[in-house]
A and B are shown apart, each in its own frame.
Chain A
Amino acid sequence: MLTIKNLHAKIGDKEILKGINLEVKPGEIHAIMGPNGSGKSTLSAVLAGKEEYEVTDGEVLFNGKNLLDLAPEERAGEGIFLAFQYPVEIPGVSMTNFMRTAVNEIRQYRGQDALEAKDFLKLSKEKQALVELDKKLAGRSVNEGFSGGEKKRNEIYQMAMLEPTLSVLDETDSGLDIDALRIVADGVNKLRNENNAYIVITHYQRLLDYIVPDFVHVLYNGKIVKSGDKNLALELEERGYDHIKAEVTA
């Protein structure tokens, strides 16, 4: 589904990704962990198509297409979804208008007819319930006045609405209390199936108790320096990153 080969990217003059290799297949959950500044968020931004980042080398194939050639909206149409670490507040754009536009733009991209208003509302209600998102929030502007937990649940609600095949969750657990974390993780687990895949970026092992990964990768200094199964996350939780840094520099 996703093949990342020798990906290098920089912002300004600063090289952040220094040769990432990663293969994600349908049905898999990959966790990417690593200390601050290792390039985790940059990787998610490059996958979603944020223009500030310049890819200097390597390639990213998504279902055989060169992802790096596509605009952010085309990537979404192809089935990529980024759950933002810091979802943006957009005053004056209502949640409903935003989501209806997004759903129908993506349907159009995929050659499907636009959803009728009543079908959209039905779908929206169903997906809101999935992450226990307060109905009142639908009447508000995008993320405006949402609590930290509501913003993260709103990300998962959008993911549920847009039915991506590859979702990148960028530190979705940061700023969440334990109950919100469980709601978000339950949402992801319900949406999970053999056709879609997840890249879960996190600092802590905690989230991975709820969203159990098939693979855990350690990103350090712009490279994946270690990969393993879920036990690698437990090991990191116990021993920290220092021994890995030591191994890499040794």
Chain B
Amino acid sequence: MENTLEKTDISQRLLGKALGQKPALPLSENTIEKAQSVLKKFGIPEVKNERYKYANIKNILNKTVLETEGISARENYPIADSLSVLNGKNMLVTVNGKVVKQEISEAFHIGTIQDYLAYEPQISFDEADSMQALALLTAQDGFHLKIGRDTTEPLIWLNITDTKTPSYYATVNCIESAAGSAAEIIEIRIGRNAASFTNQYTLVKTHEHATLRMAATDENLHSFSGVFTVHGIQKKGSTFSHSILGTGASFMRQNISAEHEDENCHTELNGFYAVDGERHADFQTVVKHMFPNCTSDEMYKGIAAGKGKAIFNGKVYVARDAQKTNAYQSNKNILLSDEALIRSKPELEIYADDVKCSHGSTTGQTDTKSLFYLRSRGIREKEAQKMLMLAFAGDVLDRISNESLREYFSSVAENKLMQLI
């Protein structure tokens, strides 16, 4: 009985903590005020909140979480052997947002988010999103990663959630790519012990002519939930890309936004998701074209089976001055069962008159003609289905440039698809 009471109160307790206590992070007074007013206005998102219409965070927190802070189940965290394919690369390990291990080349520098905020206490966030405000107000830890010019191998970030009891925890990170640098970061989200809820906010700054490619997988999150937000700020001539593989978490909301602060920026956002059982994967993207001669390219593709739910809501905004913008957005889905659900909402908001923008969304079933063609050549139905699904996912996976990581992501996707069909 006592437990049930605690459970129903968790979102209330979290709200009380965020609004009533001094944040652990050294935010500026102004930022704290802003975050608190956003949180007061929107509360912890539930169905009434347009932005989180299909992602009832309040409900999920109340149903799954007992504590408002993540206490790690153990001191030392061994790196999982199953991820040995990634050996030899730069490695960053965080547990509940705290850096516990780093094996990185000199091109990378890792500090704490506290140090970053001491320098730049006015951290920007989306003032229409109360989860970001909540992350800033409740985070205990986070890192500041600086990427220099001479990176060769990608950085693998093992982003581990490991809690004794089902908990909510927040983390705030900042990743900065130095001017002219080029790097790739792979975030592997891992859940251990009690199923918890992560609220993660990552600010990404790509300076002049930097290229930063990020990819993330939630395959190892299993029964865990979370809201993961990446906000990219791009300087002149920079390229920022983000690829997400949503195949594991029981509930995942991925927010990605990119804002161009100068000309000749390129943004590329990709996602492949496969939801089965009662899993929920939810993607919200915003690309803000504020300056001329920038491009963006978005491709999200997914498969829903069982009672799985997948949501894509992508918005491309083109400001009046952002002439010669070239923006492309596509969302394609396959439904494998009667009870699976896809919601797709591509949006364009264009104020400039000399731009090329397109968007498209399709949702359908496996192509029976292709399936019959393959089977008529002796390929068993399951194998044929797998080939077609992998081909479907391939468009997205092919965009991961590092070969061994592409293979790793492809094998994760392939294993998932085998479970679905």
Is B117 an interface residue when CB atoms closer than 8 A count as contact?
A: no
On whether A71 and B381 interact (CB within 8 A), knowing A92-B391, A92-B394, the answer reads yes
**Contact B391–A90 (Cβ < 8 Å):** yes
Min CB–CB distance B406 → chain A (angstroms): 15
Q: Which residue of chain B lies nearest to A90 when distances are taken between CB atoms in the complex? A: B370
Is A73 an interface residue when CB atoms closer than 8 A count as contact?
A: yes
5 closest A-B pairs (Cβ-Cβ)? A92-B391, A76-B378, A106-B378, A102-B377, A72-B375
* Residues 76-102 (chain A) with a chain B CB within 8 angstroms: 76-77, 81-82, 84, 87-88, 90-93, 97-98, 101-102
What is the CA–CA distance of A142 and B378 in the complex, to the nearest angstrom?
15
What is the CA–CA distance of A160 and B380 in the complex, to the nearest angstrom?
20
- How many A-B contacts at CB < 8 Å in the complex? 73
Tell me whether chain B's interface is mostly helix, strand or loop, or mixed: helix
Chain B residues, CB < 8 A from A50: 372
Is B355 an interface residue when CB atoms closer than 8 A count as contact?
A: no
What is the CA–CA distance of A141 and B383 in the complex, to the nearest angstrom?
17
Number of interface residues of B (CB under 8 A): 22
Partner of A84, one of B373, B378, B388: B373
* Residues 87-124 (chain A) with a chain B CB within 8 angstroms: 87-88, 90-93, 97-98, 101-102, 105-106, 109
Could you mark each residue 34-45 of chain B with 1 if its beta carbon is under 8 Å from any beta carbon of chain A, else 0?
A: 000000000000
Chain B residues, CB < 8 A from A91: 391
Interface residues on A, range: 20 to 34
On whether A92 and B392 interact (CB within 8 A), knowing A73-B381, A76-B377, A105-B380, the answer reads yes
What is the CA–CA distance of A87 and B377 in the complex, to the nearest angstrom?
12
Is B107 an interface residue when CB atoms closer than 8 A count as contact?
A: no
**Contact B370–A88 (Cβ < 8 Å):** yes
Could you mark each residue 360-386 of chain B with 1 if its beta carbon is under 8 Å from any beta carbon of chain A, else 0?
A: 000000001110111111111101100
**Contact B379–A82 (Cβ < 8 Å):** no
Is A46 an interface residue when CB atoms closer than 8 A count as contact?
A: no
Chain A residues, CB < 8 A from B395: 92
Is A158 an interface residue when CB atoms closer than 8 A count as contact?
A: yes
Partner of A102, one of B372, B379, B392: B379
Partner of B377, one of A71, A98, A141: A98
Chain B residues, CB < 8 A from A141: 391
Min CB–CB distance A126 → chain B (angstroms): 18
Could you mark each residue 336-379 of chain B with 1 if its beta carbon is under 8 Å from any beta carbon of chain A, else 0?
A: 00000000000000000000000000000000111011111111
